[in-house]
Chains A and B, each alone.
Chain A
Amino acid sequence: MALLLGPFLLLMSKFIIQVNGPAYGTSASVNALRFTQAALMGGHQVVCVFFYQDGVYNSTDFSLPASDEYDVVEHWQQLAVQHRVPLVNCVSAALRRGIVSEQDANENALNHWNVSQSFIMGGLGELITSIESADRLISF
């Protein structure tokens, strides 16, 4: 069975990428992005990219790196649009770190929000459901 499945898996597989590291401070986010790009270029499907723990810092629209610097947040957003890959934030990880969507702001009577439209606020439940349909979960 494994022998039959093996070559098929290599042809077209479904990945979930989990990002636990922030945009700055560790290379986790950049490594995850490079892996995701390689997987998509290799003809594989990325079911979703799940941002958890400090990974939610990748979703703020208020990060403004110098214009001549590599902008990992922008590259995640471009990838999501180009390849229609959902970027999913863990909502509880986000809210306790001051990462707030427009809806969260309204519900909590806040005047400001910082999560880009490209990110969906989800939960661990969504991650578990996606894992059911994916071949591999890769964490960074």
Chain B
Amino acid sequence: MILHHIQTSPNRDNALKLCLRYACKEDAILLSSDGVNALLLRQWAMALSPFKLMVLKDDVIARGLTERLSNVCLIDYNEFVAQALLHDKVITW
């Protein structure tokens, strides 16, 4: 059980693409920083839909996307720490 951490937009590099290629169905994906932008693009939102998805709350607020992303699981840093320990490892792509 791995926590995949994406902090760049899929328009910038292929971190999310690579992550999705190797992620197993029991893994979780955490979007932070510009990684949040993936949810604005329909094809990436669809590709993420089979996975347990978490998004860093402050990065959503910083980008003014709170309303737009109201139906995703937003977590704070305390929860990020807890999730890092709950999963066997964290891979930052």
Contact = CB atoms under 8 A, between A and B. Distances in A.
Interface stretch (A30-38, A67-75, A98-106): A30-38
Interface residues of B, number: 21
B89 interface: yes
A10 B82 contact: yes
Interface string A25-55: 0111001001101110110100000000000
Given A26-B33, A38-B77, A139-B92, A31 B7 contact: yes
Contact of A9 (B58, B78, B80, B85): B85
Nearest to B8: A26
A35 B85 CA distance: 13
A12 B34 CA distance: 31
Given A13-B85, A136-B84, A136-B85, A27 B77 contact: no
A126 interface: no
A110 interface: no
A138 interface: yes
B85 A31 contact: no
B92 A138 contact: yes
B86 interface: yes
A113 interface: no
A138 to B, nearest CB: 5
A119 B70 CA distance: 41
B80 A28 contact: no
A131 B49 CA distance: 33
A38 B81 CA distance: 7
B81 to A, nearest CB: 5
